[in-house]
């Protein structure tokens, strides 16, 4: 009975996703959607023929890796440093989760206002006399390395990870840490032997989710990313809303590639987890 | 056997989707409505709701629609106007998907032109012909090639014009007191003022490239009469050559381009660049009035010629309320609505009516319509207006610019 219930739940969750995948697969070979003209692999050929694809994919993977790593590190540090108890740590924890209700679009706009070459940071640096004019500020948005985008995405995703880290330490961490201290472990040793493994294992699924989300996110990317390389989500949307409907098939190819990135991240995580289980 | 079971669901879904491919949209009874006497169209429209899918990116246009048009439609025709956001290519996607799903339409009226009209006609997704039957259609300036042809296509009664605009550059008269007035002068200006000029990657930016193509490729005449690949290749090479020559003087060395015209306006308003641009020669006037652009911002035409085009209203083939949509389209063509829309403090969108055909007092009112002191004169607008050409030029130029310029940043 329980198995049947679980199967039904899995079916309900999977159906919309599978419909989407099936639609994209059919649309990518010209069987469905705007501009479809019957079976053809032309969209696959022209998507892979375009050097923008690999560079955009590589760039999106870089941004997603960097933003996820930054957000994870920040979440671990904040959760480890600010334990519940004192008022100052309560304030710090509250500040940490502040960006959580903000939409990604709003975070992107905030990024433009703060990090742009006419933004708050540039004006502040100019007033402080560090640069001769606001425009002399190094480019942090629309920049080749995606620094501004990485910072904004890390800032936006970090509270999500921090909340999970808080609850992990409250649930399991505290008792284990106390046990370690009773056994004579000191500050840093407790962190590396107990706190870090508890956080790391517990956070991993959420970290994978953040990575997959960030790799495909559109709103902040369109506001902060450069036009070359063009991030995968931007390239996908550009194809999907191209003036010529013939490009729609390519958009679906790119959607499937984005999907492979997400599935790849989950598969890597599952493999690592299985190895971890075998090792312990 | 166990593994096979996993395949059942995807197989089922694929099967359902393939079947959906062959599904034909039901023959719309709404075609008949277009042929009915106007009085019965009005009668059917009364008490109905019209869902209008349109671009919602400009607060002054939104205010005109929501605060001026909608209450009048309700008061005079008993029509409730519901406006939903949507833009050209997105509308094509939506209508194709609706047809594939066999779903009832989610829009009655569409704001379209050019390539969107071409795509919708090619997919047979527009209702028609109906536009010539609107009572106010008799006032349309049919002699104007800008209105009578939509990117060289004959509207054929499948869309009704409701406004026209001309492309203009925007500059700040305080920062650039003596702006360049031709493509050659603009190139020299860019070289002399590195980092102060760019264009966006969207429709507006690509239209700017098309203006360069006319100017550098021997005039619009070379590209008229349908798509010609030889003329295109020559035109493209001259545009991309011009961009390459001046690229080092572009904002950020031409390594990156703003995503859309809103970003371009922001860079201009913040003083990061000295020029912006717009599909509507009067956008700068209304944006200055709203405080979005600096008070010293002005429109600018290049003597080599700019691009002018009209925008239209279409009714999708799966519209639930084509009668209501026709009444709305007719109201928007009325002298009253066209004059209101023309006012600089409202939207400053060009009228599509031939004033000489209008009865008094409308003729006098159009003549007396106050213009903003900084607006371009009708004479200059007429002199430099060039019509749009086959949409394929726009498509191909966009694609080639993306591949050869945007994706090849000099590092």
Q: Which residue has the higher pLDDT, B316 or A200?
A: B316
Domain residue spans of chain B? 33-165+309-377, 168-308+386-406
- Run of H or E including B162: strand B160-166
Distance separating alpha carbons of residues B297 and B88, to the nearest angstrom: 29
> Which among A11, A22, A234 is the nearest to B17, CB-wise?
A22
- Torsion-angle region of residue B314: left (phi > 0), alpha (psi -120 to 50) or beta? beta
Residues A172 and A202 sit within 8 Å (Cβ to Cβ): yes
Reported as a single tens digit per residue, the pLDDT across B139-179 is: 999 999 999 999 999 999 999 999 999 999 999 999 999 99
Local structure of residue B304 (DSSP, 8 states): T
Asked if the domains B33-165+309-377 and B168-308+386-406 are classified in one and the same CATH topology, the answer is yes
Burial class (CB in 10 A: 0-12, 13-18, 19+), A200: middle
Which two structure tokens, joined as six digits, stand for B254?
Answer: 């031409």
Give the residue among A40, A19, A20, A21 at the shortest CA–CA distance from A29: A40
Reported as a single tens digit per residue, the pLDDT across B186-228 is: 999 999 999 999 999 999 999 999 999 999 999 999 999 999 9
Q: What's the CATH number of domain B33-165+309-377, 2.40.37.10, 2.60.40.10, 3.30.10.20, 3.40.190.10?
A: 3.40.190.10
Angle ∠(B158,B54,B201) on CA atoms, nearest 5: 105
pLDDT at A235 over 70: yes
pLDDT for the residue numbered B26: 42
What is this model's ipTM?
0.85
Q: Bridge-partner residues for A85, per DSSP?
A: none
Cβ of B252 within 8 Å of Cβ of A139? The answer is yes
Which two structure tokens, joined as six digits, stand for B105?
Answer: 């339409």
Nearest CA in chain A to B14: A22
Distances (CA, A) of A36 to A40, A261, B22, B51: 9, 26, 12, 27
> Which among A32, A51, A144 is the nearest to B100, CB-wise?
A32
Distance separating alpha carbons of residues B229 and B241, to the nearest angstrom: 18
B236 vs A: CB within 8 A: no
Across B77-88, average pLDDT: 95
Range of the domain at A250: 51-279
- Run of H or E including B168: strand B168-172
Give the whole-number percent of chain B exceeding pLDDT 70: 92
Which two structure tokens, joined as six digits, stand for A228?
Answer: 């070359």
Which two structure tokens, joined as six digits, stand for B152?
Answer: 């060289």
Q: Which of residues 83-122 of B touch A (CB under 8 A)?
A: 87-90, 92-93, 96-97, 100, 115, 119, 122
pLDDT for the residue numbered B5: 53
Distance separating alpha carbons of residues B246 and A27, to the nearest angstrom: 40
Across B97-115, average pLDDT: 91
Across A116-139, average pLDDT: 83
Mean pLDDT (chain B, rounded): 90
pLDDT for the residue numbered B29: 55
pLDDT for the residue numbered B15: 53
Give the whole-number percent of chain A exceeding pLDDT 70: 99
| DSSP per-residue codes, chain A | -HHHHHHHHHHHHHHHHHHHHHHHHHHHTTSSSTT--SS--HHHHHHHH-HHHHHHHHHHHHHHHHHHHHHHHHHHHHHHH--TTSHHHHHHHHHHHTTTTS-HHHHHHHHHHHHSTTSHHHHHHHHTTSSSSGGGSPP-SS-TT-HHHHHHHHHHHHHHHHHHHHHHIIIIIHHHHHHHHHTT--HHHHIIIIIHHHHHHHHHHHHHHHHHHHHH--HHHHHH--SSSPPHHHHHHHHHT-SSGGGHHHHHHHHHHHHHHHHHHHHHHHHHHHHHHHH-
Q: Report the predicted TM-score, pTM, of the whole model to 2 decimal places.
A: 0.87
Q: Which residue has the higher pLDDT, A93 or A73?
A: A73
SS3 category, B201: coil
Least confident of A63-67, A177-181, B266-270: A177-181
Cβ of A32 within 8 Å of Cβ of B20? The answer is yes
- B189: Cα within 13 Å, side-chain hemisphere: 18
Distance separating alpha carbons of residues A111 and A105, to the nearest angstrom: 10
> Which among B13, B100, B257 is the nearest to A227, CB-wise?
B257
Across A5-15, average pLDDT: 89
Distance separating alpha carbons of residues B170 and B181, to the nearest angstrom: 12
* Confidence at B411, pLDDT banded by 50, 70, 90: low
Cβ of A240 within 8 Å of Cβ of B394? The answer is no
Distance separating alpha carbons of residues B126 and B30, to the nearest angstrom: 11
* Confidence at B82, pLDDT banded by 50, 70, 90: very high
Distances (CA, A) of A16 to A74, A253, B213: 34, 18, 46
> What CATH number does residue A141 fall under?
1.10.3720.10
* Confidence at A2, pLDDT banded by 50, 70, 90: low
Residues A208 and A266 sit within 8 Å (Cβ to Cβ): yes
* Confidence at A47, pLDDT banded by 50, 70, 90: very high
Q: Bridge-partner residues for B51, per DSSP?
A: B82
Pairing of strands B160-166, B168-172: unpaired
pLDDT for the residue numbered A1: 52
Nearest CA in chain B to A140: B252
Distance separating alpha carbons of residues B163 and B150, to the nearest angstrom: 12
Number of domains observed in the structure of chain A? 1
Residues of chain B in contact with residue A51, where contact means CB-CB under 8 angstroms, are 407
Residues B292 and B269 sit within 8 Å (Cβ to Cβ): yes
Find the distance separating the first CA and the last CA of chain A, reported in whole Å. Answer: 32
Burial class (CB in 10 A: 0-12, 13-18, 19+), A138: exposed
- Peptide linkage before A148 cis (omega within 30 of 0): no
* Confidence at B374, pLDDT banded by 50, 70, 90: confident
Which two structure tokens, joined as six digits, stand for B352?
Answer: 């599509």
Q: Which of residues 249-278 of B touch A (CB under 8 A)?
A: 252, 255-259, 263, 266-267, 270-272
Give the distance from residue B359's alpha carbon to the nearest chain A alpha carbon, in angstroms: 40
Give the fold, CATH level 3, of B168-308+386-406.
Answer: D-Maltodextrin-Binding Protein; domain 2 (3.40.190)
Cβ of A243 within 8 Å of Cβ of B21? The answer is no
- Interacting residues of B60 by C-beta distance below 8 A, sequence separation 6+: B286, B290, B346, B347
Cβ of A243 within 8 Å of Cβ of B9? The answer is no
| DSSP per-residue codes, B8-47 | HHHHHHHHHHHHHHTPPPP--THHHHTTS-HHHHHHHHTT
pLDDT at B340 over 90: yes
pLDDT for the residue numbered B191: 97
pLDDT at A131 over 50: yes
- Peptide linkage before B129 cis (omega within 30 of 0): yes
Across B41-61, average pLDDT: 93
């Amino acid at each position: 009975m329980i198995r049947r219930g679980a199967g039904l739940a899995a079916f309900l969750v999977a159906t919309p996703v599978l419909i989407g995948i099936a639609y994209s697969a059919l649309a990518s070979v010209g069987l469905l959607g705007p501009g479809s003209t019957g079976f053809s692999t032309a969209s696959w050929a022209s998507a892979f023929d375009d050097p923008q694809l690999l560079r955009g994919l590589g760039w999106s993977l870089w941004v997603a890796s960097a933003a996820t790593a930054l957000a994870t590190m920040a979440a671990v540090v904040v959760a480890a440093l600010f334990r519940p108890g004192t008022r100052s740590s309560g304030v710090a924890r509250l500040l940490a989760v502040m960006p959580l209700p903000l939409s990604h679009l709003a975070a992107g706009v905030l990024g433009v206002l703060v990090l742009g070459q006419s933004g708050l940071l540039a004006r502040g640096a100019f007033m402080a006399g560090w640069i001769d004019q606001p425009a002399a500020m190094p480019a942090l948005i629309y920049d080749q390395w995606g620094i501004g985008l990485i910072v904004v995405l890390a800032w936006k995703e970090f509270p999500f990870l921090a909340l999970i880290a808080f609850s992990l330490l409250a649930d399991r961490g505290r008792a284990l840490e106390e046990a370690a201290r009773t056994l004579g472990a000191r500050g840093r040793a407790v962190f590396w032997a107990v706190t870090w493994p508890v956080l790391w294992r517990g956070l991993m699924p959420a970290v994978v989710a953040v990575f997959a989300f960030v790799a495909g996110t559109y709103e902040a990317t369109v506001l902060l990313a450069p036009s070359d390389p063009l991030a995968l989500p931007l390239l996908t949307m550009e194809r999907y809303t191209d003036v010529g409907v013939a490009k729609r098939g390519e958009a679906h190819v790119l959607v499937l590639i984005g999907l492979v990135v997400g599935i790849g991240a989950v598969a890597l995580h599952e493999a690592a987890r299985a190895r971890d289980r075998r090792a312990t | 056997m166990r593994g096979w079971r996993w395949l059942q669901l995807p197989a089922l879904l694929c099967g359902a989707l393939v079947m959906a491919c062959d599904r034909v949209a039901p023959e719309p009874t709404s075609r008949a409505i277009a042929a009915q006497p106007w009085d019965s169209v009005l009668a059917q429209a009364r008490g109905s709701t019209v869902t209008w899918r349109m671009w919602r990116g400009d607060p002054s246009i939104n205010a005109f629609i929501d605060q001026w048009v909608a209450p009048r439609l309700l008061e005079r025709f008993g029509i409730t106007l519901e406006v939903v956001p949507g833009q050209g290519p997105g509308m094509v996607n939506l209508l194709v998907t609706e047809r594939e799903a066999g779903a009832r339409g989610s829009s009655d009226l569409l704001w379209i032109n050019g390539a969107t009209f071409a795509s919708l006609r090619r997919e047979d997704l527009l209702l028609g012909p109906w536009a010539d039957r609107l009572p106010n259609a008799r006032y349309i300036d049919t002699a104007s090639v800008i209105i009578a042809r939509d990117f060289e296509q004959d509207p054929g009664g499948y869309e009704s014009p409701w406004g026209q605009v001309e492309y203009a550059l925007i500059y700040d008269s305080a920062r650039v007191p003596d702006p360049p007035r031709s493509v050659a002068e603009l190139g020299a200006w860019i070289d002399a003022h590195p980092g102060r000029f760019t264009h966006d990657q969207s429709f507006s930016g690509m239209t700017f490239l098309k203006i360069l193509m006319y100017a550098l490729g021997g005039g619009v005449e070379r590209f008229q009469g349908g798509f010609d690949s030889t003329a295109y290749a020559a035109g493209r090479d001259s545009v991309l050559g011009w961009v390459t020559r001046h690229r080092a003087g572009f904002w950020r060395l031409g390594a990156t381009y703003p995503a859309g015209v809103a970003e371009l306006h922001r860079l201009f308003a913040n003083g990061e660049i000295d020029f912006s641009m717009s599909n509507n020669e009067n956008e700068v006037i209304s944006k200055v009035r709203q405080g979005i652009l600096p008070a010293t911002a002005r429109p600018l035409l290049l003597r080599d010629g700019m691009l002018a085009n009209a925008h239209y209203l279409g009714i999708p083939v799966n519209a639930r309320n084509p009668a209501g949509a026709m009444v709305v389209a007719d109201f928007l063509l009325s002298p009253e609505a066209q004059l209101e829309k023309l006012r600089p403090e409202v939207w400053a969108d060009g009228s599509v009516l031939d004033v000489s055909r209008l009865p008094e007092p409308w003729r006098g009112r159009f003549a007396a319509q106050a213009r903003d002191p900084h607006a371009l004169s009708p004479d200059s607008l007429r002199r430099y207006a060039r019509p749009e050409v086959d949409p394929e030029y726009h498509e191909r130029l966009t694609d080639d610019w993306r591949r050869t310029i945007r994706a090849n940043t000099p590092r």
